[in-house]
């Protein structure tokens, strides 16, 4: 986390004081400046991309910060960033607000991700159905013994509501993809501000259950194999199981621009779809779109 903060700070400091997309550095050489903000799920990947892109295009200055998908999209709507990172699709009300300000958000799929459900290695539970996970997070199931574990209370961990991962998990897992379903997280669910926060709590608490992007899950934690329906096969998250659509909690990851990208922003997005950039996607545990 500290390394990410330092790298982010370095990238931010490299930005000139000019407006997004048109920056001029402190020396006399012209340069482009790209402001990139949003999803904490994507921030590691975006930082790695920015670092590599600036090595091959030193004339471009990239600023990358997190804060959540909602924060990035709000910044795009307010005209303060060139690219918003999001781990969920933009909401209709966000599109309406953007259009009221003369902004037409354009969606770019830049990678794919699996959401891993994680527990402490001491927990004997190794597989759950989507319905069981929904029942756990909604508070219908409160003890691990109800799903084949020990007689221990379940401690539920979630990202905060501004997180695109929180929204995706609510809609896809708690509500099982049913738009008419109004199921909510149990009121005693602990809302944590970062992926690292969930990982640290699961690592310390044998009663905890959490969820996180596959690229963030360390090897010392246990991932749960998940079945779409009771009685079906239980599948662990991986690049292979996302690509063959067998893992049930997988999603696209997005960048949004205000209208069709132009100039330096368009060139950067074209590079993101290249083999070189998509190799970084795989290296960090995400799923390439190619």
Structure tokens at 21: 């997309």
Closest CA to 134 of 167, 182, 183, 178: 183
Where are the chain's structural domains? 2-112+252-283, 113-250
Q: Which of 6-10, 20-24, 216-220 has the highest mean pLDDT?
A: 216-220
How many angstroms separate the CA atoms of 82 and 64, rounded?
A: 11
How many angstroms separate the CA atoms of 95 and 103, rounded?
A: 8
pLDDT single digits (tens) 232-257: 999 999 999 999 999 999 999 999 99
- When pLDDT is averaged across residues 157-167 and rounded to a whole number, the result is 93
Pairing mode, if any, of strands 105-119 and 250-258? antiparallel
pLDDT given at position 269: 98
pLDDT band at 215 (very low <50, low <70, confident <90, very high): confident
3-class SS string, 20-63: CCCCCCCCCCCCEEEEEEECHHHHHHHHHHHHHHHHHCCCEEEE
pLDDT band at 4 (very low <50, low <70, confident <90, very high): very low
pLDDT given at position 125: 98
Specify the pTM. 0.80
CATH of domain 2-112+252-283: 3.40.190.10
Domains 2-112+252-283 and 113-250 share a fold: yes
pLDDT single digits (tens) 53-69: 999 999 999 999 999 99
Dihedral through CA 90, CA 94, CA 98, CA 99, nearest 10?
100
List Cβ neighbours of 289 (8 Å cut-off, separation of 6 or more): 109, 110, 111, 112, 252, 273, 278, 281
- Under CATH, what is the fold of the domain 113-250? D-Maltodextrin-Binding Protein; domain 2 (3.40.190)
């Amino acid at each position: 986390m500290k390394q990410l903060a330092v790298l982010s700070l370095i990238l931010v400091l490299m930005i000139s004081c000019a407006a997004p997309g048109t920056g001029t550095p402190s020396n006399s050489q012209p340069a482009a400046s790209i402001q990139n903000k949003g999803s904490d799920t994507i921030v590691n990947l975006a930082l790695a991309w920015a670092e590599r892109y600036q090595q091959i295009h030193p004339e471009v200055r990239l600023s990358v910060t997190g804060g959540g998908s909602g924060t990035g999209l709000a910044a795009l709507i307010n005209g303060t960033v060139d690219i918003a990172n999001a781990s969920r699709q933009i909401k209709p009300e966000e599109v309406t607000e953007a259009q009221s300000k003369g902004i037409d958000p354009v969606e770019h799929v830049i990678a794919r991700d699996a959401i891993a459900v994680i527990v402490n290695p001491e927990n004997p539970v190794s597989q759950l159905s989507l319905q069981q996970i929904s029942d756990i997070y909604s508070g219908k199931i409160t003890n691990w013994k109800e799903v084949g574990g020990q007689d221990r209370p379940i401690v539920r961990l979630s990202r905060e509501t501004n997180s695109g991962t929180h929204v995706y998990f609510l809609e896809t897992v708690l509500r099982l993809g049913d738009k008419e379903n109004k199921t909510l997280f149990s009121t005693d669910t602990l809302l944590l501000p970062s992926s690292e926060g969930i990982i640290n709590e699961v690592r310390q608490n044998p009663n905890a259950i959490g969820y996180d992007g596959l690229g963030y899950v360390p090897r010392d934690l246990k991932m749960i194999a998940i079945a779409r329906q009771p009685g079906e096969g239980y599948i662990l998250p991986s690049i292979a199981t996302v690509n063959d659509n067998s893992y049930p909690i997988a999603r696209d990851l997005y960048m949004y621009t205000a209208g069709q990208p132009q100039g330096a922003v368009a060139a950067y997005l074209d590079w993101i779809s290249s083999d070189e950039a998509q190799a970084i996607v795989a290296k960090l545990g995400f799923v390439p779109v190619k």
